[in-house]
Structure formats: C-alpha cells, structure tokens
A = this chain, B = another copy of it.
Amino acid sequence: MKDDLMQAVEFSHFVFHQHIAEGATVVDATAGNGHDTLFLAGLVGEEGIVYAFDRQEQAIANTHALLCAHHLERRVKLIKDGHEYLGKYLGMTAVDGVLFNLGYLPGGDKSVVTKGETTVAALQAGLNLLRPGGIIVLVAYTGHPGGREETAAIFRFLRTLAAKEYNVARYSFLNQPKGPPQVLMVKKRPG
C-alpha cells in the first residue's frame, strides 16, 4: 500500500507508462539533470527514440553523463537549444509523447527558469507533431518567481484546445501550504 498520494513527478511518469509503448518517439522538453530523459529512454526501449532539449550546457552535460552511466545514450538525441525550437530539429517527425518538467535546473542557476511564452510555444510545436493517441504532460511549479505567471499562461492555452480533438486533465494538491507542483495532461484523441 502506498504511504502517500502520488506526487507530481511520479504521476507524470505514471501517465507516460499508461500511454506510451516500446518503440515510441518521445520528447523530453526539459532535460535538466536527466532524470526524466533516463526514465523515457527506459520506457521507449531499444527501438524507441528520445529527443531531449535543454538550453543550458550544464543540463546537457549532466543528462549525457547520467545516460552513459546507464548505457542508454544511444536512444537519446541531446539538443542544446530552447524547447520552443522543437520543430526546427524534428521537422515532420511524428511524436507519441512530450514531457515537460518546468522551472529551474535543480542545483543550477535558479534565475534561469522556463517562461510562459516559450513554454506555450513549445507546447504548440509539440501539438503540431503529436500523433493521434499521443500525450503531452507538464509538471508545473508555482513556488518560484515567475512560476505562477507561467502556469497561468499554460492554463489559458490549454483551455482553448478543442474538446473533440483533445482531452485535457489536471492533477493537483489542495491543502499544502508550499504549493507543490501540479501535473497537466493533454491527450490527442485517436483518429
């Protein structure tokens, strides 16, 4: 029996487990220290591929080191650029899932944070490439400067998505004083 309700990152992985099969093409829009990239590389298996974006050199280096330690670096294309430029690197590649873990790089410069404008641009770029049946999952934070504004921008965007084409859900916490992260999910309905 579980000691607590699922936390946000755990929940985001759970949704990927439910909706992503081996052999999938997925995007880690925020490589960070590589924990999500490693999870995704395991999930997609030998035949799958992960495109992992981060605009910080330190994040790319940390992610590369973590992947190499697990001998999974060959499943991952690491791209040192902002996730809003996703389309430039993927072209017309159809993707099965996109994962965002927003905010700042843990252990890095906390003043470098993801922002509403670029996050929404990346979301739109991800939706453009998303296969029917695919998912986009975001872990969003409100506890750091700019976090509330970014989360509000994401909400505004997600509420505009056509209900017939997409189903959008949220997993959040109600009584915690520090405002723990929440999860936002977009499922593109199968064709």
Contacts and interface: CB of A to CB of B under 8 A. Distances in A.
Interface of A: 1-6, 15, 18-21, 133, 155, 158-163, 166-177, 184-185, 187, 189-190
13 contacts: A1-B18, A1-B133, A2-B19, A3-B190, A4-B167, A158-B174, A158-B175, A167-B176, A168-B175, A169-B173, A169-B174, A170-B173, A174-B184
The 6 nearest A-B residue pairs measured at CB: A168-B174, A168-B175, A5-B187, A5-B169, A161-B175, A163-B176
A173 B177 contact: no
Contacts of A187: 4-5
A108 to B, nearest CB: 29
A169 B3 CA distance: 14
A2 B20 CA distance: 9
A58 B62 CA distance: 62
A175 B163 contact: yes
Nearest to A133: B1
A171 B174 contact: no
Contacts of A175: 158-163, 166-168
